[in-house]
Structure 1
Amino acid sequence: MFIRSERLFLRPGWPEDWQELLARIDDEEVARNLAQVPWPYTADDARWFASQPQHPRCPHFFVTLPTSSEPARIIGCVGLAQDGDAVELGYWFARDFWGRGYATEAARAVIGLARTLGHRKLMAGQFVDNPASGRVLRKVGFTPTGQQRQRFSLARGCAVDSIEHGLELAEPGNCDDPADMRVA
């Protein structure tokens, strides 16, 4: 499964992506904002993640910047994951690509796909000391649920307060039609 947005190309990972993945996520400031990423992040971690198969209802994507002159570079990752009974949106971007709207654009693309896959509600968590992630979530339609929970962060090695967000999705639509990427 592939997704093209205005500036980005979202694609599945391949085992040979492990070195580029390692180069992008090997930053403690990136890893500490994520629940499932260890620190330090090793070559074995990158090999494992790059070789993971896609889940048909909860895919994840490497985010790339397509260019005509060189191979597209991985700049981050976005995807859906099962978290108990909920489906959760998650993302990360290499620090060099923060503040450019890429997380917002990639999240919108995956939300459109989530609707197409028949998901009716998405959840997302934001560590309390990562307000930038909360701004991204609000830009794409998530609202804080009023709940905070402790999430274990592998990179930090401890539980961290997380602000929970939810997004109700409209009926399934066409993920290729920007006019049909609405939320409920």
Structure 2
Amino acid sequence: MFFRSERLFLRPAWPEDWSDLFHAVADAEICRNLAAVPWPYHPQDAQVFAALPQDPRYPHFLVTLPGRDGGETIGTVALLRGAAGRTELGYWITRAHWGRGFATEAVRAALVLARTLGHGLVHAAHFHDNPASGRVLRKAGFRPSGTIETCFSQARGETVAAIHHAIQLDTPNDCDDEPDPLMRAA
């Protein structure tokens, strides 16, 4: 499965992508804000991720910037099977591309795919000390649920408070007075 948004190309990772993936994510500031990514991040970790099989209902993607020489890997976005069978969304973007709307665009693209795949409700959470991720989620149409969850961070080696958000995809959402937050430009 592939997806093209306004500026990004989402595609599956292939085993030969491990090096690009490794260089993109091997940053302590990125890893500390992710639950399932260790720190230090090793080449073997990237090789394992790049070789993961795709679940047709819960796909994961490299987020790339298309260009003449292929596509630069700037992050990942994934739909995940979470606790109690709930659909969850996770993402990260390289630090060099923070603040340019790429995370919001990638999350919105993943939500369009989630809706297409029949997911009606998608959950996401961000660590309490990463408010930028909360802003991305809200710009993509997620709403805070008022619930604080605890989540183990492999990179931090400890349990961290995480602020839960959700978005209902099978009913219209109101985001900044626009009828469909998934269709807004990044």
TM-score, normalization: structure 1?
0.92
- Please say if 1:42 is aligned against 2:42: yes
- Please say if 1:79 is aligned against 2:78: yes
Taking every aligned residue pair, what percent have the same amino acid on both sides? 56
Going from structure 1 to structure 2, the CA distance change for 1:46 and 1:180 (only over 3 Å counts) comes to: closer
Q: Aligned partner of 2:109: which letter?
A: A
CA distance in 1, matches of 2:23, 2:146: 36
Q: Aligned partner of 1:81: which letter?
A: L
Q: Following TM superposition, by how much is the alpha carbon of 1:72 offset from its aligned partner in structure 2, in angstroms? A: 1.0
Give the equivalent residue in structure 1 for 2:107: 107
Contact 2:140–2:182 under 8 Å retained in 1: no
CA distance in 2, matches of 1:138, 1:126: 11
Going from structure 1 to structure 2, the CA distance change for 1:48 and 1:104 (only over 3 Å counts) comes to: same
Runs of 4+ residues deviating >4 angstroms: 178-182
CA distance in 2, matches of 1:45, 1:179: 34
Contact 2:21–2:46 under 8 Å retained in 1: yes
Contact 2:3–2:10 under 8 Å retained in 1: yes
Runs of 5+ in structure 2 lacking a partner? 172-179
Runs of 5+ in structure 1 lacking a partner? 172-177
Q: Following TM superposition, by how much is the alpha carbon of 1:181 offset from its aligned partner in structure 2, in angstroms? A: 4.8
Alignment of 1:1-184 (within 5 A): 1-68=1-68, 70-84=69-83, 85-170=85-170, 181=183
- In the alignment of these two chains, the number of paired residues is 175
CA distance in 2, matches of 1:165, 1:57: 21
Q: Aligned partner of 2:125: which letter?
A: G
Q: Give 3-state SS (helix, strand or coil) of 1:37's partner.
A: coil
CA distance in 2, matches of 1:8, 1:180: 15
What's the RMSD between the two structures over aligned residues? 1.6
Q: Following TM superposition, by how much is the alpha carbon of 1:51 offset from its aligned partner in structure 2, in angstroms? A: 0.3
Q: Following TM superposition, by how much is the alpha carbon of 1:67 offset from its aligned partner in structure 2, in angstroms? A: 1.0
TM-score, normalization: structure 2?
0.91
Q: Following TM superposition, by how much is the alpha carbon of 1:152 offset from its aligned partner in structure 2, in angstroms? A: 0.1
Going from structure 1 to structure 2, the CA distance change for 1:166 and 1:29 (only over 3 Å counts) comes to: same
Going from structure 1 to structure 2, the CA distance change for 1:179 and 1:154 (only over 3 Å counts) comes to: closer
